[in-house]
Amino acid sequence: MTTRDDCLALDARDPLAALREDFALPEGLIYLDGNSLGARPKAALERARQVVAEEWGDGLVGSWNSAGWRGLPERLGNQLARLIGAGEDEVVVTDTTSINLFKVLVAALRVQALRDPSRKVIVTERSNFPTDIYMAEGLADMLQQGYSLRLVDSPEALPGALGSDTAVVLVTQVNYKTGYLHDIGALTALAHECGALTIWDLCHSAGAVPIDLKASGADYAIGCTYKYLNGGPGSPAFVWVSPALREQVWQPLSGWWGHARQFGMEPRYEPAPGIGRYLCGTQPITSLAMVECGLATFARTDMQALREKSLALTDLFIEQVQARCGRHPLTLVTPLEHARRGSHVSFEHPEGYAVIQALIDRGVIGDYREPRIMRFGFTPLYTRFTDAWDAARILAEVLDGETWRDERFLARKQVT
């Protein structure tokens, strides 16, 4: 079994170890929640100061041009593209994941309406992140055109749920609860074989696992920038559309930023050529500008190196927890198979909420998801092997000592 000295050695020879210096992490904290909110790049503070003091304060309205605010969604999209296997001028950073999902879902249904109007079913997982299901539900309800959702109960059930009635398959590549990792290429191929289009939600995978949207034949992708991409709290989301589909239809949130001539002030909408048509309204510039600081660190490494470290970290954490906590009612819900595992590890525990609170009290920041799921995210940019080892040790102490039974930890409040 791995010792702490082994972990010290692993950290010492970790080729990615220096990347941690890009981040402002509080002393003494083991932060295993970068899969919910990424840590702060040190550069983000200076970037915020620059945007607020100089660009807004001094440059005022002229900064839309002089500071390049107007082009930020496209510029950031190009920086993000290489992390997800998208091409130049194929991604924009804008709005929220929910809103971007709405755009691509309507677009996909419109493409299908041109190809085969009888396809009316949106297939997704019951365990998909709720907002994805809610947005699809809201859309189907609004359209009143016979669209419906088909929710499947496991990743393995997805292929069998596809048929001649399927318009779109909407899948989150890494499941937010279990950490299950889908194969974009394989599922897209199956979907295409039966005539369906695919929408990939990359919230829990962008910046965590290698993704090659173009090589895998995907049709649409969306995702957030505030998890593994370290863009800052609620930083705007991204959207990618296969160039083969992009100009076939409008997206429905046809605001002025997506117009072919934004400042033409014309009374009719005409979508911009290219991915710019997926923009809608004026973007929150300070939050948007900091996304660049998160992306900058990725330029110093590559996704394959990050993936190797991520798997080594999650392997280590699983090994340590299973070895130390065998007598407690912990159930690993994350796949052991590398090809099926994202970059976070989840265990079920009947009192998972209280255990997570007790861990946070000990300086190990994981999070909790209903029902009973304790999540631990391993962000290879800044998580050390010793962090994984120490977190498992402290989890064992919390469970062995039953410190989670404290009233403070049992009393529920909303967890993010």
| 256 marked as binding residue | yes
Q: Does 117 bind a second copy (CB under 8 A)?
A: no
| 400 marked as binding residue | no
Q: Which of residues 268-327 bind a second copy (CB under 8 A)?
A: 268-269, 280-288, 290
- Based on CB atoms, which residue is closest to a second copy, 43 or 394? 43
Q: Which residue has the tokens 């090809």?
A: 339
How far apart are alpha carbons 260 and 279 in whole angstroms? 11
Shortest Cβ distance from residue 76 to a second copy (Å)?
A: 13
Phi, psi of 228 (to 5 degrees): -65, -15
| 201 marked as binding residue | yes
Q: Which of 40, 119, 177, 227 is catalytic?
A: 227
Q: Is 301 exposed, middle or buried (CB count within 10 Å of its CB: 0-12, 13-18, 19+)? A: middle
Are 203 and 219 in contact by the 8 Å Cβ rule? The answer is no
Are 268 and 119 in contact by the 8 Å Cβ rule? The answer is no
Strand-pair category, 373-377 with 367-369: antiparallel
Are 369 and 324 in contact by the 8 Å Cβ rule? The answer is no
How far apart are alpha carbons 374 and 331 in whole angstroms? 10
CA 24 from centre of chain: 21
Q: Which of 226, 228, 298, 317 is catalytic?
A: 226
Q: Does 114 bind a second copy (CB under 8 A)?
A: no
Q: Does 2 bind a second copy (CB under 8 A)?
A: no
Q: Which of residues 205-264 bind a second copy (CB under 8 A)?
A: 224, 226, 232-237, 250, 252-257, 259, 262-264
- Based on CB atoms, which residue is closest to a second copy, 116 or 183? 116
Phi, psi of 2 (to 5 degrees): -65, 135
| 226 marked as binding residue | yes
Q: Which of residues 123-182 bind a second copy (CB under 8 A)?
A: 126, 129-131, 133-135, 137-139, 141-145, 151, 177
- Based on CB atoms, which residue is closest to a second copy, 57 or 350? 57
- Based on CB atoms, which residue is closest to a second copy, 58 or 247? 58
- Residues labelled catalytic: 129, 201, 226-227, 375
Which residues fall in the annotated binding site for pyridoxal 5'-phosphate?
Answer: 97-98, 129-132, 172, 201, 204, 226, 256, 282
